[in-house]
Amino acid sequence: MLSHLNVSALDCFKPAHLETPKPMWLSDFTLFIEELKANFGSYNPVGEVEAELEGLHMQENHQAMKYFIKFMQLATRVQRGEATLPQQAYNGLAKCIKNDMVQHNKLTTLSSLRRLTQAIDA
């Protein structure tokens, strides 16, 4: 594994290869990745935020405002067009709110979706 590292990472981990006993992360790929992240951060921070954004879901007992605060925190860190954000936000809404939205026209902006969601959730 060490042979695939760049110079700075190799310099960081080379001494561990000489230790006795060898650290567990030298023989376990998952632990090795965790060690890399701990020392150098994520190799794809935008991808990790996108995955977190796609996995964000409002639970039935959660408040809409808290959901949208978290959604906006994540949305500002990814490279998505304004047109895709309302659909992504809608996908994560609680089912009870989506059911109430059936009675309204389709919303095309994130701010209009947030306002309607908060009105339903109030």
Give tens-digit pLDDT for 71-99.
Answer: 999 998 887 777 788 999 999 999 999 99
Same domain, 110 and 55: yes
Give tens-digit pLDDT for 4-39.
Answer: 566 667 777 777 777 788 888 888 889 888 888 888
| Closest C-alpha to 110, from 62, 79, 71, 61 | 71
CA–CA dist 47, 52 (Å, integer): 9
24 alpha-carbon distance from chain centroid: 28
In this prediction the pTM is: 0.66
Same domain, 6 and 57: no
Same domain, 34 and 52: no
Same domain, 71 and 102: yes
Same domain, 35 and 50: no
SS3 107: coil
Same domain, 76 and 96: yes
Amino acid at 80: R
Same domain, 34 and 50: no
Q: Which domain holds residue 112?
A: 45-121
Number of domains in the chain: 2
CA–CA dist 116, 122 (Å, integer): 10
